[in-house]
Amino acid sequence: MILDPAQRRAGQIHIATPRLETPFHSRIAALSTTNDWYSWAGYKAPHSVFDDELEYFAIRSTAALFDISPMVKYRIRGVDSERFLNRLTLRDVRKLQPGRVQYTAWCDDHGHVLDDGTLFRLAETDFRLCCQERHLPWLTDSADGFNVTIEEETETLAAVALQGPTSFSVLDAAGFAGVETLKPFQISTFQHQDHEILISRTGFTGDLGYELFAPAEIALSLWDRIWAAGQLFGLQAIGYGALNRTRIEAGFIVANTDFTTAETALRPDRQRLPDEIGLDWLVDPDKPYFNGRDAILKARRTKSLKYILVGLEIEGNVPAEHALVYHRKSREAGIVTAGIWSPTAKRNIAIATLTRPFGEQILDDLWVEIYAMRELQYQKLMKRAKIVPRPFVKLPRRTVTPPGRF
């Protein structure tokens, strides 16, 4: 069948529909030499800017800027905001003081993880929840009976991550006096062009780093202020490819990469309890009732957990992402969800989901099946793997306060 031009155009609407551009997009596009973009929550985001490997070394050796504006952001305010969020999330929000950030996760009534993210307590009854997926309908439904307001800030609030050993020096040179006092997971407000911006000592690289939040209308001038100050400290703009390498080294997980969120899972066996993806330490069973509590505690009590998330060290230097994991080279035990050769650890590392009892009772004689491209032909490699703790890379500078100057 031959399609006329109008039919072809109609069939390409989904391709022609432009992705949204973040407030920082013009600056990143001007720096981009790879033109390597991907879609993040409907936004055009860089997978790389100039070179994946050099961008990685910018994070670990100097400083790097990564646009996190597409990260979904919700503002939750009201007299019941603490009680609402305590019902919603796994950790005890009552312990989160104003000016602090809490890594957390939240579940449906069956205890399956809907998402993970960071919860900022901006004031006594004022919170910001940052996450991977959009949850506004679920949040508003869950808020029934609570005196709270919920507003999505994703489009109006620009955000950028500044990560790496010289990141503090960049902010200091940019004139953000007092930023040296910020401890990990602490936040403070600063002035920029007669506007208030928020800086948190947080990040997704396992390195010294900060995240800056500002009204979208002053995003470009904030970028320029940081960029100008950073030229003496090796500052580079980076894409997700480099960031992903560092988050694997840090042992961090990503929703819908290392686990499937409950709302997006098409099959029941794809859903995960917190204990099945390494988030058991977030669960506070002593706090008031929260979503999924009964199911999570029942699974622990009856020992009915089916999966476990582990760190692997694999022989050789061929990354094992999406490789199958076997016991004794014959029985399938799980799958690698993320894997790289780590330049910092000098090891072949991976994050994997295993089916229990593998990873819990059976720890030895594990192998991964890697298919490596060699001169246009795939070569099957069976490489020995051993379970190791996460993080794979632990950098003391991440927590030193005040950070070292350069």
CA 178/CA 171 separation, integer angstroms: 10
CA 399/CA 61 separation, integer angstroms: 16
- Nearest residue to 73 via CA among 112, 95, 41: 41
Q: Which residues of the chain are modeled with pLDDT < 50?
A: 1-3, 7-15
Structure tokens at 209: 């780093």
Q: Are 308 and 356 in contact (CB under 8 A)?
A: yes
Q: What is the dotted CATH code of the domain comprising 268-388?
A: 2.40.30.110
Q: Which fold has domain 19-71+155-249?
A: Gyrase A; domain 2 (3.30.1360)
Q: Which whole-number Å values give the CA distances from 20 to 24, 35, 38, 71, 310, in the listed order?
A: 11, 16, 11, 13, 36
Residues of the chain with CATH 3.30.70.1400: 72-152
Q: Which fold has domain 72-152?
A: Alpha-Beta Plaits (3.30.70)
313 is annotated as contributing to ligand binding: no
What is the pLDDT at residue 15? 46
Residues of the chain with CATH 2.40.30.110: 268-388
Q: What is the 3-state secondary structure (H, E, C) of the chain?
A: CCCCHHHHHHHCHHHHCCCECCCCHHHHHHHCCCCEEEEECCEEEEEECCCHHHHHHHHHHCEEEEECCCCEEEEEECCCHHHHHHHHECCCHHHCCCCEEEEEEEECCCCCEEEEEEEEEEECCEEEEEECCCCHHHHHHHCCCCCCEEEECCCCEEEEEEECCCHHHHHHHCCCCCHHHCCCCEEEEEEECCEEEEEECCCCCCCCEEEEEEEHHHHHHHHHHHHHHHHHHCEEECCHHHHHHHHHHCCCCCECCCECCCCCCCCHHHCCCHHHHCCHHHCCCCCCCCCCHHHHHHHHHHCCCCEEEEEEEECCCCCCCCCEEEECCCEEEEEEEEEEEECCCCEEEEEEEEECCECCCECCCEEEEEEEECCCCEEEEEEEEEEECCCCCCCHHHCCCCCCCC
What is the pLDDT at residue 18? 72
State which amino acid sits at residue 24: F
Q: Are 372 and 316 in contact (CB under 8 A)?
A: no
Q: Are 127 and 121 in contact (CB under 8 A)?
A: yes
CA 73/CA 58 separation, integer angstroms: 27
Per-residue burial over 6-32, b = 16 or more CB atoms within 10 Å of its CB, e = otherwise: eeeeeeeeeeeeebbebbbbebbeeeb
The CA-CA-CA angle for residues 177, 120, 125, to 5°, reads 110
Q: Considering the entire predicted model, what is its pTM?
A: 0.93
CA 301/CA 348 separation, integer angstroms: 36
Q: Are 207 and 395 in contact (CB under 8 A)?
A: yes
**Burial of residue 191 (number of CB atoms within 10 Å: 0-12, 13-18, 19+):** exposed
What is the pLDDT at residue 268? 86
